[in-house]
């Protein structure tokens, strides 16, 4: 059976408006035209959908059942049409992002530079923060964080490969104070710790041994919420520090820092671009998602 789209549209208008006259006004046609279109649909189906009176058009049981099934489907069609229409628009506007301070791959420059080159009508506002909050409530379009801290109701697109935490130190520090061989040895060393804000306890350093996860509450000699200060202090021989390996990689490659106890530091899921589940993404955000996916392919 071919689909009578005009009849379906008329039926939905009558069901929602409550009368043939009101449906005619909504559709911009005459009442007889509505009546004829509705009658043709009923004749094709062999069932009465609307009980007509002079003032109203109430749904029959069959009509109510049909409306309950048609309305969500038509809503999906409308969203699909909106998506198709939006895909033709040139992405533009302000794109607000909340990015973890250790999201080195995203913050390093090339990914964002390539994006604004491809979409010059989009302006990006990046807030670098390690505070955990509801990005929707704070007015952000998306965020970038480690996958292990994302809420399950978010859509997440990888922007890096697997990561791992490492303990690092300058060779000069290790020469003076020795090299710890197990995380429990950290209590005998100067540690440079991180905490998000003054009222929060320093971050516990996390390790794995024989498949069992555990953490160590180090007593930092220096504590800060600035990863750059942690890095500079470690480079100056001020102690051991702990963080995502990607942050330290240039200094590990140059030999300015040394990774220790690596056998206790297995990989874990890396960084993700995340945003709320929406059936109709704004073109500016869809453009960023597509750009990230292309760079990862």
Chain segment 212-237, per-residue pLDDT in tens: 999 999 999 999 988 889 999 999 99
- Residue-level pLDDT at 235: 97
- Percent of the residues in the chain that have a pLDDT greater than 90, as a whole number: 42
Q: Region 272-295: what's the mean pLDDT?
A: 85
Structure tokens at 203: 């971050």
- Cα–Cα distance for residue pair 173/220, rounded to 1 Å: 15
Task: Give 270's contacts (C-beta < 8 A, 6+ positions apart).
Answer: 105, 146, 147, 158, 159, 160, 161, 162, 163
Q: What is the largest CA-CA distance in the chain?
A: 97
Question: Residue 38, Cα to own-chain centre: how many angstroms?
Answer: 45
Establish how many alpha carbons lie within 13 A of residue 143's alpha carbon, considering only the half-sphere containing its beta carbon: 26
- Cα–Cα distance for residue pair 155/165, rounded to 1 Å: 24
Please, what is the average pLDDT of the chain?
A: 87
- Residue-level pLDDT at 109: 81
Q: What is the pLDDT of residues 42-62, one digit of tens each?
A: 888 889 988 877 567 788 888
- Residue-level pLDDT at 83: 66
Residue found by looking up tokens 């930092």 in the block: 220
In eight-state DSSP terms, residue 185 is: G
- Residue-level pLDDT at 1: 54
- Residue-level pLDDT at 265: 95
- pLDDT-based confidence at 167, cuts 50/70/90? very high
Structure tokens at 228: 């750059």
Report whether pLDDT(186) > 70: yes
Structure tokens at 84: 């198709």
Establish how many alpha carbons lie within 13 A of residue 14's alpha carbon, considering only the half-sphere containing its beta carbon: 36
Torsion angle of the four alpha carbons 49, 54, 56, 58, in this order, in degrees rounded to the nearest 10: -30
Return the ∠ at Cα 65 (arms to 59 and 68), rounded to 5°.
100
What are the counts of helices (DSSP H) followed by strands (DSSP E) for the chain? Answer: 10, 14
> CA distances (Å), 37 to each of 4, 13, 29, 52, 137, in order?
9, 11, 11, 14, 46
Structure tokens at 55: 């003032």
Query: Which of 113, 114, 100, 117 minimizes the C-alpha distance to 160?
Result: 100
Query: Which of 270, 292, 265 minimizes the C-alpha distance to 281?
Result: 292
- Residue-level pLDDT at 15: 85
Report whether pLDDT(175) > 90: yes
Structure tokens at 262: 């690596």
- Residue-level pLDDT at 297: 63
- Among 101-105, 107-111, 122-126, 135-139, the range scoring the smallest mean pLDDT is 101-105
Q: What is the pLDDT of residues 72-90, one digit of tens each?
A: 887 777 777 766 666 556 7
* Secondary structure element (H or E) that encloses residue 144, with its range: strand 142-146
Three-state SS at 65: helix
Structure tokens at 154: 């978010």
- Residue-level pLDDT at 212: 94
Task: Give 98's contacts (C-beta < 8 A, 6+ positions apart).
Answer: 127, 129, 133, 135, 138, 140, 142, 143, 144
- Cα–Cα distance for residue pair 18/57, rounded to 1 Å: 6
- Among 24-28, 78-82, 180-184, the range scoring the smallest mean pLDDT is 78-82
Report whether pLDDT(18) > 80: yes
β-pairing, 240-244 vs 165-169, is: antiparallel
């Amino acid at each position: 059976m071919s689909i009578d789209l005009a009849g379906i549209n008329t039926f939905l208008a009558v069901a929602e408006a409550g009368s043939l006259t009101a449906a005619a006004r909504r559709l911009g046609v005459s009442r007889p035209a509505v009546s004829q279109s509705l009658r043709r649909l009923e004749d094709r189906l062999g069932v009465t959908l609307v009980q007509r009176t002079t003032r109203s058009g109430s749904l029959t049981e069959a009509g109510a059942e049909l409306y309950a099934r048609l309305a969500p489907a038509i809503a999906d069609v409308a969203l699909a049409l909106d998506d198709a229409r939006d895909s033709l628009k040139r992405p533009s506007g302000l794109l607000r992002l909340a990015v973890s301070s250790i999201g080195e791959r995203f913050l390093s420059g090339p990914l964002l530079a390539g994006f604004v080159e491809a979409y010059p009508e989009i302006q990006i506002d990046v807030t670098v923060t390690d505070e955990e909050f509801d990005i929707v409530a704070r007015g952000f379009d998306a965020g970038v964080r480690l996958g292990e801290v994302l809420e399950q109701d978010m859509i997440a697109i990888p922007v890096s490969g697997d990561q791992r935490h490492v303990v690092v130190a300058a060779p000069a520090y290790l020469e003076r104070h020795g090299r710890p061989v197990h995380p429990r040895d950290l209590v005998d060393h100067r540690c440079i710790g991180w905490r998000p804000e003054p009222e929060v306890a320093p971050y516990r350093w996390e390790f794995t041994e024989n498949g069992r996860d555990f953490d160590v509450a180090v007593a930092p000699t220096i504590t800060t919420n600035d990863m750059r200060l942690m890095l500079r202090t470690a480079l100056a021989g001020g102690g051991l520090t702990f963080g995502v390996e990607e942050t330290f990689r240039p200094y590990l490659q140059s030999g300015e820092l040394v990774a220790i106890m690596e056998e206790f530091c297995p990989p874990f899921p890396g960084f993700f671009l995340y945003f709320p589940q929406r059936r109709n993404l704004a073109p500016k955000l869809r453009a960023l998602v597509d750009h990230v996916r292309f760079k990862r392919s």
